[in-house]
Amino acid sequence: MPVAGQRDPEQVKGALEHWLARQLGAASAVEITDLRIPQASGFSNETYLLDATWLAGATRVDAELVLRSQPAAHRLFPEIDLITQQYLSMKLLGEHSDLPVARMRWAERDPAVLGGPFFVMDRLHGLVPGDSPPYTQEGFVVEMTPEQRARWAYNGVEALARVGRVDWQAAGFQHLDLRHHGTLGPEQRRNYFANYLQWAWGDKPHPVVRPAWDWLLANWPDDGEHIELCWGDARPGNQMYGGDDHTTVIGIFDWEMVSLGNSESDLGWWLFLQSYSLEAGGAQMLPGMLDHVATVALWEKLMGRAAKHLKFYEVLAGFQFCLVMIRLAEAFSAESGDPAMAAMAIYNPVVNLTADLIGIDHPVPAA
């Protein structure tokens, strides 16, 4: 369910050519020779692919770039700062870690340019596991041998664990300490999600979200000893794979949910999204893939500690994804003009999976 670009590409092209020329201080104009919207541009950002040409002295520069911009409408998260959360995160990771991220070029906060904040980065070339249809049904992962798929699965989890091992203080991620939500650690995360729930759904009843929140409050772990960098949207679909057999992680994308806390939350999100990809699409585990037990065992080996609160972080992942689905239902209802789309806030596979985790019935529409 990607959110496609909401701005006219030709208008973006013209505005961007002038803006790039200013960034480069180019003596000659910048020419964008191709600008297009990829078929799937993500849940929460607008994405454009562009080829640009300019002169650096007497040398012609040809660049393949990606522009990510903040949507003009339909926010999925209550607190969005595209530049701080995504551009700065990838820039710091590129400068202070060995994580594979794209080279950051420029960022712009002034909404006068394109109508909202945006940034530009170099384009990477590789393969990304698909969401619809899921990568277990169609695409390069299906075409792998079991041995290749085992390497692919290992490398994906290994990259996930590397995020949690980043020295976030030395790398300069102190800005992710959201002190307006309380002390860094469990208190801050709990208050963030309390605010998210109120912002997304208010005080209305919900047959799964409300019980899930009550379950979380009753089981919130005191795990403030682990303050680590958390990627947020940790899943194969946000990794790009390259190498001769496309099993090597060459890019990690989508940092709009980045935070500080116990990085076990990334493991919980990874596992919940794997269940969602399989069960919602009626797909099956493929030979060589890591099931739930094997994924947890590998993460524990790579992190050097036990995943003590995994059930909690899987429920938290389901709860958060339910809030995203609430916001998507509102967006789809508004864009389609069909109020029936609003029912997706309650009746969807994410809600059902979350209900399973806390042991309650799936919501059933009235006859």
**Domain locations along the chain:** 9-122, 140-358
Tokens of 264: 């076990």
- Asked whether the beta carbons of 264 and 310 are under 8 A apart, the reply is yes
Mean pLDDT of 288-314: 98
> Is the pLDDT higher at 5 or at 244?
244
pLDDT score, position 28: 66
Cα–Cα distance for residue pair 25/32, rounded to 1 Å = 16
* Residue-level pLDDT at 5: 46
Rg (the chain; Cα; Å): 21
pLDDT band at 349 (very low <50, low <70, confident <90, very high): very high
Show the tokens assigned to 187.
């208190």
Span 218-222, mean pLDDT?
98
Measure Cα distances from 233 to 56, 115, 276 in Å.
37, 25, 14
pLDDT by residue (tens digit) across 174-205? Answer: 999 999 999 999 999 999 999 999 999 999 99
Secondary structure of residue 164 in the 3-state scheme? helix
In CATH, the architecture of 140-358 is: Alpha-Beta Complex (3.90)
Regarding the domain delimited by 9-122, which CATH topology (the fold level of the hierarchy) does it fall under?
Answer: Phosphorylase Kinase; domain 1 (3.30.200)
